[in-house]
Amino acid sequence: MKSLLGKMVLVGVSVFGLAVANLMAGPLDRWHWRNPMPQGNPLNAVAYGAGKFVAVGAVGTVLTSDDGTNWVGRTSGTANDLNGVTFGAGQFLITGASGVILTSIDGVKWISANSGTGSDLFGVVYGGGRFVAVGDIGAILTSPDGGRWVAQASGSGNRLTGVAYGAGTFVAMGVSSTTLVSRDGVNWTPSQAGRTLAGIAYGNSAFVGVGAHGTVVTSPTGDNWTTRTANTDVNLSAVAYGNGVFVTVGNPDAILTSPDGVNWTAQSAGSGYTFSSITQGNGSFVVVGGSSTIISSLDGVNWVDRASGPTNQLNAVVYGLGMFVGVGDFGAVVTSGDGVTWTNQISQSTAFLRNIAFGNSTFVVVGASPSLTGVLLASVDGVNWTNLVAGGGRNLTGVTFGHGQFIAVGGFGTIITSPDGFTWSKQVSGTTIDLIDVTDGEGGFVTVGGTGADGVILTSSNGTNWTNRGYGTGGDLACITHGNGIFVGVGDAGTILTSTDGVTWVSRPSGTDSYLNDIHFGAGVFVAVGSGGNILTSSDGIHWVQRVSWTANDLRGIAFGAYTFVAVGVTGTILQSDSLAPPILTYTRADAGMILSWPTNAVLQSTTMSDPLSWSYVTTAFTTVGPQNSLFIETSRSNQLYRLVGE
């Protein structure tokens, strides 16, 4: 029995290696925010109700908080941009692009409602026993319950961007100085505020509207408006009332307070913020905006930043020495042992760090100073960095390690090599075209560069002697990698080229026209990332599948390590895929048999020793506890073999 059990586990492990590809779709469709936290998408709106704040934003983002301080990401079920949120009739209601409407009684579980329109919806409010939503081409929709919607005539063809309710009156605002009023949400008439408003709120017996160049207008009924002086020229984007005070926010970094909407005082929360929406509830003001902005205040005067993590653009990431290391603009270096928790490191540089490689127990970073001279950094631990003199003095953009040496490339055909990452020698490339990236493969090195008809590909068997292979196809390459026996290059307008030898290249359809910035091979799959949050995957470099990243932020770099991919990008974006580690079939001894255990994301198959090629799914009832299945196997079935396959 002992030898049989050993064979059973061996078969389960060895055969599963053939089934790993079946599991690739799941982990690479599930990407998690690791920085900034709680997430990094722009937030468009925030509301309060039933003891909870709900913020919504780009690519289906929904966050909730009980106190305005600690935030949790929720699943909205849509990748459309979400633009507005309100609370009424015992539920939260969200409006978004392409007519999206979502409802939830707790802010956690969201249900889609049929709005009856494909137009983008922006603002939404609840008042007078009904929801009112506004959007493109003068769209106004009303609903008593959030589920049944009726289109109303606004009398305007302009985009309506927001709506407020107070004193029995709805006021809608839009582009081209559009302002509309209604007592019932059904019949609307123009109201001349005289300005294009970006935000509107009701409080202290008055509507207050705000807009570009410090615009502030007030009205007791929403019909006739009076212009006020805010003593600022910034673009004001939103306003809210609570705790006896109006608070308006704008860009850049503007916060003003007023007890009456007439007299305004400038406040400050610091710099670097982009504000889009504000609400008040539970004694606190909460402001949300671009680049993961979330700040809160009890009085509108003293503010606390509730987002965390570095926000410098990250351009590249690599895995080595059991850690991920990411690099970016202004000397940014971040490290993580698991891809989840990240730590800022001091690079001793303020340069634009463009790329990073690992080899020979050393990390090497290349980049450019503000004057576009080359920058080289090296570290043996990812924490302590040495600033080196870049050979050739040119802007450096690409680096790789292979065949026992580092190769770095850059402007004006620069190629430099190093055996250890610290001592560098300049090589002759034979071209003056800017080289962008370099990789190593089975036969040596390949570097790419140039643009359009001036594109160039060079190959070398040793890193010293380089041969120009031409190129000039018009598809600019930004990055190149090697895996599964082929070179794959990616670049502008969704360009993907493949080659088995670095000499002859074939264009492959990518299914996107986005700029692809980086590509990496790991766990038997190529992963490419690019602008607009694009992520593409391929097992062969030829056939590509688009994945949902749940962000529209530009992604600049991708790496694989510890069974997971990590992508980095603008505003400090760090995303991590689910683990690609193969599920393991395990056993424990039991009376008269044994118990098999395996993850719920895999399926158990069995066969007999006498017919080891005829596998069938196990249909015997098994037990599921959390993420694990288990099945008792009697000793009498000792001639059976078992394995796992993907769902």
For residue range 438-496, what is the model confidence (pLDDT) as tens digits?
999 988 999 999 877 678 999 999 999 999 988 765 568 999 999 999 999 999 999 99
- Asked if pLDDT for residue 617 goes beyond 80, the answer is yes
Instruction: Dig out the tokens for 18 from the structure.
Output: 């053939």
> What are the C-alpha distances in Å from 338 to residues 315, 335, 578?
19, 9, 12
Mean pLDDT of 587-616: 84
Mean pLDDT of 115-132: 98
Dihedral (Cα; 351, 356, 359, 364), 10-degree rounding: -10
Tell me the average pLDDT across 501-515: 94
Report the SS3 class of residue 4.
helix
Long-range contacts of 614-621 (CB under 8 A, 24+ apart): 615/643, 618/642
For residue 330 the two structure tokens come to: 């202004």
3-state secondary structure of 118: coil
CB proximity list for 14: less than 8 A, separation 6 or greater: none
Which string of b and e fits 34-70 if b means at least 16 CB within 10 Å? bbbbbbbbbbbbbbbbeebbbbbbbbbbbbbbeebee
Question: Are residues 196 and 160 in contact, defined by beta-carbon separation less than 8 angstroms?
Answer: no
Contact 473, 443 (CB under 8 A): no
For 187-222, the pLDDT digits (tens) are 999 998 889 999 999 999 999 999 999 999 999 999
Which band of pLDDT confidence, cut at 50, 70 and 90, is reported for residue 636?
confident
Query: Do 559 and 317 meet the contact criterion of CB atoms below 8 Å apart?
Result: yes
Distance CA(81)–CA(180), nearest Å, equals 25
Angle at 274 between CA 344 and CA 79, to 5 degrees: 85
Q: Which pLDDT value is given to residue 20? A: 25
The per-residue DSSP string of 616-635 comes to EE--S--EEETTEEEEEEEG
Residues 459, 439: Cα–Cα separation, whole Å: 10
| Stronger pLDDT, 65 or 10, i.e. the higher one | 65
Alpha-carbon gap, residue 391 to 544, rounded angstroms: 38
pTM of the model: 0.86
pLDDT recorded at residue 610: 82
Q: What are the tokens at 49?
A: 């109700």
Structural contact between residues 98 and 110, judged by C-beta atoms closer than 8 angstroms: no
pLDDT at 529 over 60: yes
Q: Which helix (H) or strand (E) holds 574?
A: strand 574-577
Transcribe 251-291 into DSSP letters: ETTEEEEESSSSS-EEE---SS--EEEEEEETTEEEEEEST
User: Do 252 and 234 form a contact (C-beta atoms < 8 A)?
Assistant: yes
Report the alpha-carbon distance of residue 515 to residue 492 in Å, rounded. Answer: 4
Strand, helix or coil for residue 492: helix
- Answer whether 606's CB lies under 8 Å from 618's CB: yes
- State pLDDT tens for residues 240-287: 999 999 999 999 999 999 999 999 999 999 988 999 999 999 999 999
- Tell whether omega for the bond before 27 is within 30 degrees of 0, i.e. cis: no
Alpha carbon distance, N-terminus to C-terminus of the chain:
30
Percent of the chain with pLDDT over 90: 79
* Distance (Å, whole) CA 479 – CA 465: 21
Residue 172 has pLDDT above 50, yes or no: yes
Cα angle, residue 524 at apex, residues 559 and 607 outer, rounded to 5°: 140
244 token code pair: 């006896």
Q: Write down the pLDDT at residue 472.
A: 62
3-class DSSP assignment, residue 98 = helix
* Average pLDDT across the chain, whole number: 91
For 538, phi and psi rounded to 5 degrees? -155, 140
Per-residue 3-state assignment (H helix, E strand, C coil) for 320-389: ECCEEEEEEHHHCEEEECCCCCCEEECCCCCCEEEEEEEECCEEEEEEECCCCCEEEEEECCCCCCEEEC
Helix, strand counts (H, E) of the chain: 1, 63
- Side-chain half-sphere CA neighbours of 391 within 13 A: 17
Euclidean distance between CA atoms 343 and 337, whole angstroms = 9
Which tokens hold the place of 245? 């005070």
Instruction: Tell me the C-alpha distance between 107 and 110, whole Å.
Output: 7
Contact present, 560 and 522 (Cβ < 8 Å):
yes
628-634 sheet: strands from edge to edge: 586-590, 593-599, 628-634, 623-625
Which residues sit opposite 85 in a β-bridge? Answer: 94
Domains and CATH numbers, the chain: 2-24+582-646 (no CATH), 28-301 (2.120.10.80), 314-577 (2.130.10.10)
Spatial CA neighbour of 302 closest among 351, 257, 238, 236: 257
Do 197 and 160 touch, CB atoms closer than 8 A?
no
Positive or negative: CA dihedral 36, 32, 489, 446: positive
pLDDT tens-digit map of 12-69 = 332 322 222 233 347 899 999 999 999 999 999 999 999 999 999 999 999 999 999 9
Cβ distance 259 to 204 under 8 Å? Answer: yes
Instruction: Specify the higher pLDDT residue, 192 or 71.
Output: 71
Residue 15: DSSP 8-state: H
Rounded Cα distance between 516 and 530, Å, is 4
What is the Cα–Cα distance from 214 to 387, expressed in whole angstroms?
46
DSSP 571: G
Strands of 215-219's sheet in order across: 197-203, 206-211, 215-219, 226-228
DSSP string covering 122-171: EEEEEETTEEEEEEGGG-EEEESSSSS-EEE--S--SPEEEEEEETTEEE
